[in-house]
Amino acid sequence: MNSLQNLLSPVKIKTMELPNRVVLPPMGTNLGNADGTVSEANLAYLKRMARGGAGLIITEVSAVYPSGSAINCELGVYDDRFIPGLKRLADVAHAAGSKIALQLHHAGRESLHLLQEKKAIAPSAIRSLVFGLTPREMTREEIQEIIAAFGAAARRAREAGFDAVEVHGAHGYLLTQFLSSLSNQRADEYGGTLANRSRFMLEVLEEVRRRVGEDFPISLRISVEECIKGGYTIEDINPLLPELVRAGADIIHASLGTHGSPAGITSAPIEYEPGFNVWRAKKVKEVVDVPVIAVGRFTDPNLADEVIARKEADLVAFGRQYLADPDFLTKAREGRHEDIRVCLACNQGCIERLILGEGNIRCAINPETGQELIYPSGPAAVRRRVWVVGAGPGGLTAAYEAARLGHKVTLFEKEETTGGQLRFVCKAPHKSIYGDWGTWLTSQVKKLGVTLHTGTKVTERMIEEGKPDAVILATGGEKIIPDIPGIDLRMVSDAWQILSGEVDPREHAVVIGGGLIGMETADFLLKRGAQVTLIEVLKRSPVLKITSHGYMLHTRLREGNCKLLFNTAIRRIEENSITILSDGEEQILSPVDQVIIAAGLKPRDDLRKTLQARGIPHFIIGDALQPRRIMEATEEGARAARNLS
C-alpha cells in the first residue's frame, strides 16, 4: 500500500508551515451574499471542504475593487467592512488544521454583468472572447488605483487572519489580459513587448509585498501558457518567472489557459488524463527556486505522491475532486481507496451551472456540495421501509442517501445489472469512467445494507403485498421511436443497440438525433471506421460548444468528417438510402446501409397511478420525471431521500 509519504510530508513557506502538500485550489461557488460579504453558505461549504485535510486551502476569487467582480455574488475585499466575515472564513480553516490563503482577483473584461453595464475595464478595448462584448481601456490613473487595491486587499487578508494571499494572474482575468498580446495592445509602458506587458503583474506583486511585509507568503496563480492561437507559450513565460519571484511571489501556482481557450482547458474535461499538466509545473521548477503547485484533473493521491517524489512539483491541487468527495484524502490515508468517489470531470455542477446561469455550485455526483446548510447528517427522525425502483444514477443515489439516513431500503432493477443509462454512456469514447462510477455507487449502496434485487420488475401486486412506507420511482426513460416510413427495416437500429454491441457498426451510417446520445453514438461509430451523417431537426445542436465536453465532441465529429445536417427532417427510409428535407429542399442520401435512431427518451412512470391510487407516499425522480443530465437525477434522488421523514 502506498504510504503517501511524499504527499503527506510537511513543507514550510516563509512563516507558513503546511502539514501536507495537498492544496484545495480556488473554485467559484456563487455562495456569497449579494453585497460581497461572507455568507453562512460560504462558511458551511468551506467547513465541509476543510474537513478533508488539505494542507493549504485557497479561497475562491475575492474582488479587490468594485470594477473587478466576475460574478454577482463574488466575495469582496476592497473595503475594511469585509474583514469580519473573512476572518470567519480563516477561522474555519484553522479549526480544521489547515492553512488558508485569500485569492485576490480582478476580472478585467471577463465579467458579463460589468460588460453589460458598460463598467468593465481592461488593458485595451478589445472584446471578450468569452462574452463577445467590449470593455473600456484603462487609464494610467486606473492602473495605479488597481495596483494599490491589490496591496490594500492583501493587507486586509493579513488582518483577517489569513496565512497567505494568492494573486490571481491566470485564466484570462485582468493580470493575464495585461500579459497577453491578444488582449493588450497599449502603446505606453504597460504594452508592447513582453517586458512591458508584464509590468502590471510585477507592480501588483511588489505592492502586495510592500503591504504585507517580507515574512508573509504570496502565491501567484499564473497561466503559464494561454493555450490559444497566437497566445503566449511556456517558452515565452519561463524567462519572466524569476522576475515574478523577485517581485514577491513565494509560490508559483502553475495553471494554464484562459476561459476563452478552446475546450474549457482551465477545467479540463474527461478527454484529458489526470495530471496532464504536470509537465508545465516541471518546466517552471527548472527556472525558479520557490515551491510550485501542479494542477490539472488530479483525482488520485497516489499519482500526486509520485509527482512530488519525482520533484516535478512541490504541492498538488485537487479541485473538482474535492467537490466530488471532500473525504478522499482521509480515505486514502486509511487505505480505503476503493471508497473514494472519483470526479468525472463532467463540469455539470461546478462549471456549467455557473456559466449557464443555473445557480450556485453543485457536483453532479455528490449532492452534498453547495447544499451543506440543508444536507442532513442523519439519522432520520422516523425510519421508514423504502422501495427504490430503478438503479440508474438517480435510483442508486436515492438508495444511498436513504440508507445513509437510516431508512430500510430495498432497491429494484428490472435489468440484470445496475447503472441504467450509464451502461451505455460508458461505451462512448473517453467515458468509461461513468461505468466505473456506476459500479462504485452500487458497491457503496451494498455497504450501507441496501437490499438489491436485479432482474426484477416491480409490479402492482408486489407493491400491494410488500406495503412499503414510501417509494422512489427512478424508472428512467423509454426510447423515443419517431414515426418515419421505413423505420421497421432491418437496417434500422437504435443508439443503445450500437453502444452495447448488440448491433455492429456498418460502413455508411446515418444517426437520427443530434443531442448528446446521437453525437456520442456518432463519435463511437467514427472511432470504428464508419462514415457518419448526423441529422437533427433543430437549427443547431443542443450539445453546446461552450461546454468542455461539447466542444471536444464537436471537434472530433468535425475532424472525423462526420456530416452534420441541422434543420433537417427525415421523410422516409428505404433500402440503401434515406430521403430528407433539409432547409426546405428534399434530398436523397445514398449509399446508406445503417440507420440509427437516437431521438432521445421520454419519461417512464408506469407505477405512478398505482401508488397514487393506494395513497403510498412517492417521489418521481430523474428521467422518469423528465429526461435530463446526471446532475438533476442525483440531486432529485438525494432530495427524495431527505423528504422521506
So which residues are the catalytic ones? 173
Q: Rounded to an integer, what distance in angstroms lies between the CA atom of residue 565 and that of residue 549?
A: 20
Sheet holding 508-512, edge to edge: 492-494, 594-597, 508-512, 531-535, 563-565
Residues with Cβ < 8 Å from 628, sequence gap 6 or more? 622
Q: Rounded to an integer, what distance in angstroms lies between the CA atom of residue 611 and that of residue 627?
A: 21
- Please tell me whether residue 105 adopts helix, strand or coil conformation: strand
Is the bond preceding 591 in cis, omega lying within 30 degrees of 0?
yes
Q: Rounded to an integer, what distance in angstroms lies between the CA atom of residue 57 and that of residue 24?
A: 5
Helix 199-212 × helix 140-159 angle, to 10°: 30
Nearest to 133 by CA among 164, 103, 110, 157: 110
Residues with Cβ < 8 Å from 459, sequence gap 6 or more? none
Sign of CA dihedral 49, 55, 61, 66: positive
Residue 240 DSSP symbol: G
Nearest to 599 by CA among 485, 514, 533, 542: 514
| 296 within 8 A of 272, measured Cβ to Cβ | yes
Burial class (CB within 10 angstroms; exposed 0-12, middle 13-18, buried 19+) of 188 = exposed
- Please tell me whether residue 279 adopts helix, strand or coil conformation: helix
| 169 within 8 A of 201, measured Cβ to Cβ | yes
- Please tell me whether residue 210 adopts helix, strand or coil conformation: helix
Q: In one letter, which amino acid is 507?
A: E
Q: How many CA atoms lie within 13 A of 534 on its CB side?
A: 33
Cell numbers linked to 243: 522576475
- Please tell me whether residue 199 adopts helix, strand or coil conformation: helix
- Please tell me whether residue 509 adopts helix, strand or coil conformation: strand
Q: How many CB atoms lie within 10 A of CB 338?
A: 10
| 520 within 8 A of 425, measured Cβ to Cβ | yes
Q: Rounded to an integer, what distance in angstroms lies between the CA atom of residue 448 and that of residue 524?
A: 36
| 72 within 8 A of 113, measured Cβ to Cβ | yes
- The residue behind cell 422518469 is 624
Q: Rounded to an integer, what distance in angstroms lies between the CA atom of residue 171 and that of residue 226?
A: 8
Q: Rounded to an integer, what distance in angstroms lies between the CA atom of residue 96 and that of residue 334?
A: 18
Q: Rounded to an integer, what distance in angstroms lies between the CA atom of residue 284 and that of residue 400?
A: 44
Cell numbers linked to 461: 401486486
Q: Rounded to an integer, what distance in angstroms lies between the CA atom of residue 478 and that of residue 484?
A: 18
| 372 within 8 A of 609, measured Cβ to Cβ | no
Q: In one letter, which amino acid is 415?
A: E
- In DSSP terms, 630 is beta-bridged to none
